[in-house]
């Protein structure tokens, strides 16, 4: 039987398959693919063929074959294989088996070769399907976790806001006191949370609406909301007016959410009574918006701050900001000024001016 042929010549088939995998230009072979993957592929194929050969009726697709291949696909995923590697390695293995059978003039019938190809097809299909199934589960888990975080933050802010309103209604405190300040701050955070979630949703789905926007108009809109946040926190906000005439082609909502995240981080970590400064510069090709805080500086490379949720301080907002700026064709750079603060700069392409009439 064909499975016995594979078992007998197992070492020769593994050596030939490894040589084919190693010489493949793309996807490049990995050490775990060569040392562990090739024997796993062959042993799984031998097991699948034995199941097929033991089935007297030889159905078009035996459930056990699919189950075996699915388990194999899961094992490959756990050790770091990609779908492309799975497909190519099965192909290399099939070629090595066929060449050895021809070389040895092995008495293998056309039906047995047909069975080999069908088992390979079934194994590849089930292995790749397992990759997709695990990916769907991970996406669903991430989405559930994201919604839980959003609901938890929103509930806390709404609860605190409702409590502040009840205190103000009692007449015991005035709207201009700390309770009124807390209410205004919470409402601002609710707005920012919703804006951030909407921007993140649009980034995940790839929905962007690019339109030309005057740079001065964008900076002015940003300054209005930022000034309220700075006042509520007792900070000074300085915004330099951009040069007249400059425009950018952007998705206004996504870029506004990205810049707002940078400003929120700046306000959050600037020392009490400190200053946040926004400077805008332009040249013939680019526009830059630099946001400087007085957080005292950070340890390590400033670029590390962009890792989502890293160290729990400036993570998620900066990750969303970088994705938002990237969706608008730009980039964010970070610079650390030891003992003083950080400067995050948004760099965007400048929209070419229309030709003069």
Residues across the chain: 357
Contact yes or no for 69/75 (Cβ under 8 A): no
The burial class, CB within 10 Å (0-12 / 13-18 / 19+), for 265 is buried
- Kindly report, residue by residue over 304-356, the tens digit of the pLDDT: 665 533 444 444 567 778 888 888 899 998 888 888 888 999 999 998 866 55
pLDDT for the residue 289: 96
Lowest mean pLDDT among 98-102, 133-137, 329-333: 133-137
Report the alpha-carbon distance of residue 106 to residue 116 in Å, rounded: 14
- Kindly report, residue by residue over 156-201, the tens digit of the pLDDT: 777 778 877 887 888 777 777 777 777 777 787 787 777 777 777 7
pLDDT for the residue 60: 47
Buried b (16+ CB within 10 A) or exposed e, 243-252: eeebbbebbb
| R_g (Cα) of the chain, nearest Å | 30
- Kindly report, residue by residue over 41-74, the tens digit of the pLDDT: 777 777 767 776 676 444 444 455 555 555 555 6
| Topology classification of domain 211-349 | Heat Shock Protein 90 (3.30.565)
pLDDT for the residue 98: 82
pLDDT for the residue 71: 59
pLDDT for the residue 247: 93
Sign of CA dihedral 68, 73, 74, 78: positive
pLDDT for the residue 38: 73
Given CATH 1.10.490.70, say whether it is the number of domain 2-139.
yes
pLDDT band per the 50, 70, 90 thresholds, residue 133 = low
The larger pLDDT score, comparing residue 300 to residue 104, is at 104
Q: Domain residue spans in the chain?
A: 2-139, 141-204, 211-349
Statement: residue 140 has pLDDT above 90: no
């Amino acid at each position: 039987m064909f499975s016995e042929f594979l078992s007998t010549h197992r070492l020769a088939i593994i050596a030939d398959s490894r040589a084919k995998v190693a010489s493949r230009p793309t996807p490049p072979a990995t050490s775990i693919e060569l040392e562990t993957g090739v024997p796993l592929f062959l042993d799984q194929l031998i097991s699948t063929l034995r199941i097929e050969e033991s089935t007297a009726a030889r159905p078009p697709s035996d459930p056990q074959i699919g189950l075996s291949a699915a388990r194999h696909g899961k094992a490959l995923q756990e050790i770091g294989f990609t779908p492309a590697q799975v497909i190519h390695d099965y192909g290399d293995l099939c070629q090595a088996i066929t060449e050895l059978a021809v070389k040895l003039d092995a008495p293998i019938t056309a039906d047995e070769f047909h069975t080999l190809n069908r088992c390979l097809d079934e194994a590849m299909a089930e292995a790749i399907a397992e990759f997709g199934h695990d990916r769907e589960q991970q996406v669903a888990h991430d989405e559930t976790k994201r919604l839980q975080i959003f609901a938890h933050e929103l509930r806390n802010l709404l609860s605190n806001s409702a409590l502040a309103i009840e205190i103000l209604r009692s007449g015991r405190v005035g709207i201009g006191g700390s309770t009124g300040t807390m209410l205004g701050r919470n409402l601002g955070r609710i707005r920012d949370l919703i804006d951030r979630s909407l921007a993140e949703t649009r980034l995940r789905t790839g929905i962007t609406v690019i339109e030309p926007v005057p740079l001065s108009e964008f900076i002015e809109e940003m300054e209005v909301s930022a000034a309220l946040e700075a006042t509520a926190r007792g900070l000074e906000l300085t915004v330099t007016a951009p040069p007249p005439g400059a425009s950018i082609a952007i998705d206004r909502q996504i870029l506004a959410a990205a810049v707002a995240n940078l400003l929120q981080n700046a306000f959050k970590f600037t020392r009490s009574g400190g200053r946040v400064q926004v400077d805008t510069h332009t040249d013939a090709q680019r526009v830059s918006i630099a946001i400087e805080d007085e957080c005292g500086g950070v340890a390590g490379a400033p670029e590390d701050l962009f890792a989502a949720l890293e160290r729990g301080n400036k993570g998620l907002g900066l990750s969303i900001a970088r994705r938002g700026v990237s969706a608008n064709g730009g980039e964010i750079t970070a610079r650390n000024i030891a003992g003083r603060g950080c400067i995050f700069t948004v760099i965007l392409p400048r929209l070419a001016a229309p030709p003069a009439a």
